Amino acid sequence: MPKLRLKRFAANPAADPAPIALPFEKDGLAMARRAISAWPGYAPTPLRRLSDLAAELGLEAIIYKDESTRFGLGSFKPLGGAYAVSRLLAREITAATGETAPDLFSPRHAAIAKGLTVTAATDGNHGRSVAWGARMFGCRCVIFVCASVSEGRKDAIAAYGAEIREADGSYDDAVRLAAKTAQDEGWHVIPDTSDGEIIDAPRDVTQGYMLMADEALSHWPLAEPPSHVFLQAGVGGMAAASCARLWQAMGADKPVIVIVEPDQCACWYESLTAQKPVAVTGEIDSVMAGLACGEVSMVAWQVLHKGADFMLTLSDEAAPVMMRYLAGKGGDDRPVVAGESGIAGLAGAVAAAQDPAARAALGLGPNSRILVFGSEGATDPVTYQHIVGKTPQEVLD
Ligand SMILES: Cc1ncc(COP(=O)(O)O)c(C=O)c1O
C-alpha cells in the first residue's frame, strides 16, 4: 500500500448539511442527461472497486469511477465544455429561427453553427472538450493555453481542428485573456469558471458535470450509499457538481464531502478557511495540471461554501505514487490507468485514512464507503509513461 502524507487538513467552518438553493436550472441535470446520452459514443463510465486498498486501510469499500474512457477523450470534461457548446448553439438557433428545441445535428442549422466561434482557456482537458464539442457541432474554435500546458495536451486539442493560442502566465490569466478576446472579436467564450459576471456557460458546464455523480448513484454497487466523497478541485466545478448531485439525491444525509488540492494552489482551502473567495498567486504549477488554479469559480462557491465539509492538501509527489499503484494493482484485480489530476481524490482519501487525526475527524473506519472520481486517464500519454514507466496500453495488456 502506498504511504502518503497530508500537507494540510481542516474542517470548513461554514459547512452545513441542510440543503440550499443550488445555482442551477430546475431541470438542469435532466436536460444534460437527455442531451449528452444522445451523443454518439455515450456510455456511463465504469465503477471500479479497489478492494485490496480498502481492506489495507481498514475501510468497507473504495469505489473509483473511472473516467478514462469518456467519449474517447480520456477525462470527464466532455460532460462540461462540449455540453456548454451545445447549449450555446441551441440558444443561437432558437434566437435565429424561433425553434425551441432545435436538432443541433440537422443540416438546416449548419450555417448558424459555422458562423459561431467558440473559445476557452485551458490547462488541458477543458480546451480539449470545447474543441471536441465545436467539431461535433460544426463551430469554429480557438483555445488559449496557459504556459504550463504540455505539447502532448496542445496536440490533442489541435487534433480536433481548434486553433491554439498561447497565453503568458497562469490558468487564471489565460481565462481573462480568452474572455477579453471573445469580447473584442464577437466570439463566444465557454469558461469552466465564473468570476460572477459570466454565468451561463460556467453554469452549463457545471450542470453537465452533474451527470458524472448521477451515473455513480445510478450504478452504485453497495447496499448502503457512499459515506465519504473525496473531490479534487481546480476551480471547483467538478466538486460543486458532484456535491450538488449528492445533495439533491440525499439531502442533509449527503456523504461527508472532502475537497482535495495540491498544496501550492489550494485556493479552496484558503477560501473556505477565510469564508470568502481568496486568490492564490505565485508559483502555482503542479504535476496535477488540471488542479493548478489560483481562483475559485463563483458558481462552484455557491455550492461548496456550505456543501464542503473538509479540505485537505497534498504535495505533488502524491499523484505519481498513486498512479503507479493503480497501474500495478488497480481495482477488481485489474490495472487502472489514471492521470495526474484524475488521481488526486483517491490520493487524498488514502492520505486522510493514514493520518490518525484526519481519520478521526472524518470518522473513517470499517463502515466507510468512499467514492472517488478518477477524472482522467492518460490524457498526456508521454507524461504518463514518464511517471509510470509503461505506456497506458502496456499497463492494460
Ligand atoms: C482531470 C481533471 N480532474 C479534475 C479537474 C478539476 O476540475 P475543476 O477545475 O472543475 O475543479 C480538472 C480540471 O481541469 C481536470 O482536468
Between CA 172 and CA 23 the distance in angstroms is 22
> Any idea which fold 6-77+202-396 has?
Rossmann fold (3.40.50)
77: annotated active-site residue: yes
Can you give the pLDDT at residue 7?
A: 98
Can you give the pLDDT at residue 74?
A: 95
C-alpha cell, 247? 445533495
Can you give the pLDDT at residue 318?
A: 98
Sheet holding 188-189, edge to edge: 163-167, 140-146, 117-122, 188-189
For ligand 1, say whether the CB of 234 is within 6 Å of any of its atoms: yes
Can you give the pLDDT at residue 338?
A: 98
Please state, in angstroms and as integers, the Cα–Cα distance from residue 391 to each residue in 76, 243, 319, 327, 381, following that order: 21, 33, 17, 10, 7
Please state the atom number of ligand 1 nearest to the C-alpha of residue 339. 1
CA of 29 to the centre of ligand 1 (A): 19
Q: pTM of the entire structure?
A: 0.97
Residue 316 carries which side chain, given as an amino acid letter? Answer: D
276: annotated active-site residue: no
Same fold yes or no, 6-77+202-396 and 81-191: yes
For ligand 1, say whether the CB of 237 is within 6 Å of any of its atoms: yes
Q: Which residues pair with 250 in a beta bridge?
A: none
When computed from its CA atoms, the radius of gyration of the chain, rounded to whole angstroms, is 20
CA of 297 to the centre of ligand 1 (A): 12
For ligand 1, say whether the CB of 341 is within 6 Å of any of its atoms: yes
* Residue spans of the chain under pLDDT 50: none
Q: What is the pLDDT of residues 135-158, one digit of tens each?
A: 999 999 999 998 888 998 999 999
Q: Which one of 65, 66, 123, 172 is the catalytic residue? A: 123
Residue 248 carries which side chain, given as an amino acid letter? Answer: Q
For ligand 1, say whether the CB of 75 is within 6 Å of any of its atoms: yes
Can you give the pLDDT at residue 1?
A: 85
Give me the architecture of the 81-191 domain, per CATH. 3-Layer(aba) Sandwich (3.40)
Can you give the pLDDT at residue 330?
A: 72
User: Among candidates 176, 178, 72, which has minimal Cα distance to 132?
Assistant: 72
Nearest-CA residue for atom 16 of ligand 1: 290
State the DSSP string of 40-92: TT--PPPEEE-HHHHHHTT-SEEEEEEGGGGGGTTBSGGGTHHHHHHHHHHHH
Can you give the pLDDT at residue 305?
A: 98
Can you give the pLDDT at residue 333?
A: 67
Domains in the chain: boundaries: 6-77+202-396, 81-191
Between CA 343 and CA 231 the distance in angstroms is 10
Q: What is the pLDDT of residues 308-333, one digit of tens each?
A: 999 999 999 999 999 999 999 876 76
Choose which residue among 238, 268, 295, 298 to substitute to test ligand 1 binding: the one with the highest number of ligand atoms within 8 A of its C-beta. 238
